[in-house]
């Protein structure tokens, strides 16, 4: 559908997904808890999805999409979105694991900051030393 046809039709059909969402969500308490859980999960990985969208979903400076199956745009969108969400979730879990390794739970923010500065200085020093050793 071209832009002008879509713009003419959109005011009449644009509200349908929102109304359907409200009706389906409020049919039972089980639906509400499932949908809230889905929003909770997606809210946890928002930083990772923001960072990963340009690497896993969009290409060519966000002007193109990654194509898995040529000629099937809807199927390609579903597969690319599934891979994108799965890898964003894995990235979230990895970030949490690294955070727990560098900043153990229960430490104060000042101690955590000192530890991170120490690790950064140690890593930079070690990297510089290895780089200089290779040059000599």
Q: Are 91 and 79 in contact (CB under 8 A)?
A: no
Q: What pLDDT does residue 107 have?
A: 66
Q: Which is it for strands 58-59 and 64-65: parallel, antiparallel or unpaired?
A: antiparallel
> What tens-digit pLDDT sequence spans the chain (136 residues)?
788 998 999 989 999 999 998 898 889 888 888 888 888 888 999 989 888 887 777 777 667 777 888 888 889 889 988 988 999 999 999 988 887 777 767 766 777 777 778 888 898 888 888 877 777 6
* 0.85 surpassed by pTM: no
Distance CA 103, CA 19 (A): 45
Q: What pLDDT does residue 136 have?
A: 67
Q: What pLDDT does residue 76 have?
A: 87
């Amino acid at each position: 559908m071209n832009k002008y046809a879509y713009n003419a039709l959109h005011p009449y059909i644009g509200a349908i997904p929102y109304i359907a969402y409200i009706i389906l969500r409020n049919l039972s308490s089980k639906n509400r808890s499932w949908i809230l859980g889905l929003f909770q999960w997606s809210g946890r990985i928002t930083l990772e999805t923001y960072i990963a969208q340009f690497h896993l979903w969009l290409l060519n400076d966000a002007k193109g999409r990654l194509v898995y199956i040529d000629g099937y745009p809807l199927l390609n969108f579903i597969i690319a979105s599934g891979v994108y969400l799965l890898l964003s979730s894995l990235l979230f879990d990895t970030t949490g694991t690294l955070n727990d390794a560098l900043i153990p739970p229960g430490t104060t923010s000042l101690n955590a900051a000192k530890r991170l500065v120490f690790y950064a200085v140690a890593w930079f020093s070690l990297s510089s030393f290895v780089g200089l050793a290779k040059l000599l």
